[in-house]
């Protein structure tokens, strides 16, 4: 049911995170996404531990919990995008130089927005947890988690499309 993110996922056995993702903006974007995924997982575990009443409530709880797997599936995408960015356009600070901006387009913003969408999913999952405790229906919050995770996936897909051909020499 739960799938805890494999902390080694996406890492090459020969490269550490600093070598693979750098220490600048690309690493910052990756780490922010990973932290949001971890917060979602923690919130989902807390929801799973709460008593549930009724089939529909159980289905909505499962919707929130299933989000952990969907987010886990996005982690390798973020790893791939940020590693590719670091390999071809290393950035040591938090500002994207003009020549890099021309090459990568709005990819930095897409990564930031994807992380924000996961953070919004965390907030919706937290609302679901609060609603369960209060004995209220969680369907709206459960649907919101689904929507925010789907939005994050679409943003990451656009980021990948921006970089198509970058890794091919």
Q: Where are the domains of the chain?
A: 18-163
Portion of the chain with pLDDT greater than 70, in percent: 87
Distance CA 75, CA 20 (A): 14
Q: How far apart are CA 113 and CA 36, in angstroms?
A: 12
Distance CA 115, CA 77 (A): 12
Contacts of 62 by beta carbon, 8 Å cutoff, 6+ apart: 1
156 close to 110: Cβ distance less than 8 angstroms: yes
Instruction: Report residue 5's pLDDT band, with 50, 70 and 90 as the boundaries.
Output: low
How does residue 13 score in pLDDT terms, banded at 50, 70 and 90?
Answer: very low
109-168 pLDDT per residue, tens: 999 999 999 999 999 999 999 999 999 999 999 999 999 999 999 999 999 999 997 765
Tell me the C-alpha distance between 125 and 130, whole Å.
9
CA distance 5 to 9: 8
pLDDT of residue 149: 99
Terminal C-alpha separation, the chain: 41
Is the pTM higher than 0.85? The answer reads: yes
pLDDT of residue 6: 57
Residues in the chain: 169
**By the 8 A CB rule, do 108 and 29 touch?**
yes
Share of the chain above pLDDT 90, in %: 72
Instruction: Give 55 or 139, the one with higher predicted confidence.
Output: 139
């Amino acid at each position: 049911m739960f799938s805890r993110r494999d902390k080694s996922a996406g890492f090459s056995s020969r490269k550490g995170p600093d070598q693979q993702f750098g220490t600048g903006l690309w690493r910052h974007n990756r780490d922010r996404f990973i932290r949001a995924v971890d917060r979602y997982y923690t919130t989902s575990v807390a929801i799973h531990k709460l008593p549930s009443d009724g089939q529909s409530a159980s289905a909505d709880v499962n919707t929130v919990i299933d989000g952990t797997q969907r987010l886990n599936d996005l982690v390798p995408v973020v790893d791939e995008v940020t590693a590719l960015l670091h390999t071809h356009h290393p950035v040591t600070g938090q500002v994207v130089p003009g020549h890099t901006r021309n090459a990568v387009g709005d990819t930095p913003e897409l990564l930031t927005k994807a992380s924000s969408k996961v953070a919004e999913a965390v907030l919706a999952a937290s609302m679901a947890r609060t609603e369960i405790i209060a004995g209220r229906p969680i369907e709206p919050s459960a649907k919101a988690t689904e929507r925010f995770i789907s939005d994050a996936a679409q943003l990451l897909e656009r980021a990948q499309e921006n970089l198509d051909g970058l890794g091919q020499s």
